[in-house]
Amino acid sequence: MAETIFGKIANAEVEADLVYEDDEVVAFRDLNPQAPVHVLVIPRKPIPTLNEAKSDDAELLGRLLLTAAKVAEQEGIAEQGYRTVINCNAGGGQTVYHLHVHLIGGRPLQWPPG
Protein backbone atom coordinates (compact mmCIF):
# COMPACT_ATOMS: atom_id res chain seq x y z
CA MET A 1 0.00 0.00 0.00
CA ALA A 2 1.08 3.63 -0.51
CA GLU A 3 2.49 5.22 2.63
CA THR A 4 0.04 7.51 4.39
CA ILE A 5 0.67 10.48 6.63
CA PHE A 6 0.38 8.11 9.62
CA GLY A 7 3.08 5.87 8.16
CA LYS A 8 5.29 8.95 7.95
CA ILE A 9 4.48 9.85 11.58
CA ALA A 10 5.34 6.27 12.64
CA ASN A 11 8.68 6.58 10.80
CA ALA A 12 9.35 10.05 12.29
CA GLU A 13 9.38 11.58 8.79
CA VAL A 14 6.49 13.86 9.83
CA GLU A 15 6.16 15.50 13.25
CA ALA A 16 3.33 14.73 15.62
CA ASP A 17 2.63 15.27 19.30
CA LEU A 18 3.54 11.75 20.47
CA VAL A 19 2.16 10.55 23.79
CA TYR A 20 3.42 6.95 23.60
CA GLU A 21 5.56 4.74 21.37
CA ASP A 22 7.12 1.30 21.44
CA ASP A 23 8.37 -1.21 18.87
CA GLU A 24 4.92 -1.91 17.48
CA VAL A 25 2.63 0.96 18.36
CA VAL A 26 2.65 4.79 18.22
CA ALA A 27 0.11 7.14 19.84
CA PHE A 28 -0.17 10.84 19.06
CA ARG A 29 -2.64 13.71 19.43
CA ASP A 30 -5.18 14.19 16.65
CA LEU A 31 -4.60 17.33 14.55
CA ASN A 32 -8.34 18.08 14.60
CA PRO A 33 -9.40 17.10 18.13
CA GLN A 34 -13.06 16.34 18.78
CA ALA A 35 -12.68 16.42 22.57
CA PRO A 36 -10.17 17.65 25.19
CA VAL A 37 -8.40 14.30 24.82
CA HIS A 38 -8.23 12.95 21.27
CA VAL A 39 -5.36 10.57 20.64
CA LEU A 40 -4.79 8.23 17.69
CA VAL A 41 -3.20 4.85 18.37
CA ILE A 42 -1.66 3.20 15.30
CA PRO A 43 0.37 0.10 14.57
CA ARG A 44 3.76 0.72 12.97
CA LYS A 45 2.70 -2.00 10.51
CA PRO A 46 0.72 -0.28 7.74
CA ILE A 47 -2.63 -2.13 7.76
CA PRO A 48 -5.02 0.03 5.66
CA THR A 49 -8.33 -0.77 7.39
CA LEU A 50 -9.73 -3.25 9.89
CA ASN A 51 -10.88 -5.29 6.86
CA GLU A 52 -7.27 -6.11 5.97
CA ALA A 53 -6.30 -7.24 9.50
CA LYS A 54 -5.49 -10.97 9.56
CA SER A 55 -5.54 -13.53 12.35
CA ASP A 56 -1.76 -13.02 12.58
CA ASP A 57 -2.54 -9.43 13.62
CA ALA A 58 -4.68 -10.48 16.59
CA GLU A 59 -2.01 -9.68 19.18
CA LEU A 60 -1.25 -6.36 17.51
CA LEU A 61 -4.93 -5.40 17.55
CA GLY A 62 -5.02 -6.20 21.25
CA ARG A 63 -1.96 -4.03 21.79
CA LEU A 64 -3.71 -1.09 20.15
CA LEU A 65 -6.57 -1.33 22.66
CA LEU A 66 -4.28 -1.89 25.63
CA THR A 67 -2.26 1.15 24.54
CA ALA A 68 -5.45 3.21 24.32
CA ALA A 69 -6.28 2.20 27.91
CA LYS A 70 -2.73 3.04 29.04
CA VAL A 71 -2.89 6.47 27.39
CA ALA A 72 -6.34 7.08 28.93
CA GLU A 73 -4.77 6.46 32.33
CA GLN A 74 -1.83 8.73 31.43
CA GLU A 75 -4.22 11.48 30.32
CA GLY A 76 -6.29 11.21 33.53
CA ILE A 77 -9.57 10.15 31.88
CA ALA A 78 -9.60 6.43 32.74
CA GLU A 79 -11.84 6.81 35.79
CA GLN A 80 -14.41 9.17 34.24
CA GLY A 81 -14.52 7.15 31.03
CA TYR A 82 -13.74 7.55 27.37
CA ARG A 83 -14.50 6.10 23.96
CA THR A 84 -12.38 4.08 21.53
CA VAL A 85 -13.43 4.09 17.87
CA ILE A 86 -12.13 2.47 14.68
CA ASN A 87 -13.63 3.99 11.55
CA CYS A 88 -13.60 1.59 8.58
CA ASN A 89 -13.74 2.78 4.98
CA ALA A 90 -15.64 5.80 3.67
CA GLY A 91 -19.02 4.70 5.04
CA GLY A 92 -17.50 4.47 8.51
CA GLY A 93 -15.90 7.90 8.24
CA GLN A 94 -12.32 6.72 7.65
CA THR A 95 -10.16 9.31 5.89
CA VAL A 96 -6.62 8.05 6.56
CA TYR A 97 -5.99 4.51 5.30
CA HIS A 98 -3.62 3.34 8.02
CA LEU A 99 -5.55 1.52 10.73
CA HIS A 100 -5.99 3.65 13.86
CA VAL A 101 -7.93 3.67 17.09
CA HIS A 102 -9.35 7.01 18.20
CA LEU A 103 -9.18 7.56 21.97
CA ILE A 104 -11.68 10.31 22.79
CA GLY A 105 -12.54 11.73 26.21
CA GLY A 106 -12.45 14.60 28.66
CA ARG A 107 -16.06 15.64 28.00
CA PRO A 108 -19.48 13.91 28.15
CA LEU A 109 -19.91 11.78 25.00
CA GLN A 110 -23.28 11.20 23.34
CA TRP A 111 -24.51 7.79 22.23
CA PRO A 112 -25.16 6.85 19.50
CA PRO A 113 -22.51 8.84 17.62
CA GLY A 114 -23.54 10.50 14.34
Residues near ligand DGP, by CB under 6 A: 5, 16, 28-32, 40, 87, 93-96
Closest CB to ligand DGP among 40 and 41?
A: 40
Q: Please, what is the minimum distance in Å from the beta carbon of residue 29 to ligand DGP?
A: 6
User: At CA 59, angle to CA 39 and CA 42, rounded to 5?
Assistant: 25
User: At CA 67, angle to CA 35 and CA 88, rounded to 5?
Assistant: 65
3-state helix/strand/coil string of 32-79: CCCCCEEEEEEECCCCCCHHHCCHHHHHHHHHHHHHHHHHHHHHCCCC
Question: What positions carry a catalytic annotation?
Answer: 100
Q: Contact 90/33 with Cβ under 8 angstroms?
A: no
Q: Please, what is the minimum distance in Å from the beta carbon of residue 16 to ligand DGP?
A: 5
Closest CB to ligand DGP among 30 and 57?
A: 30
Q: Please, what is the minimum distance in Å from the beta carbon of residue 32 to ligand DGP?
A: 5
Closest CB to ligand DGP among 32 and 55?
A: 32
Chain-centroid distance of CA 18 in Å reads 12
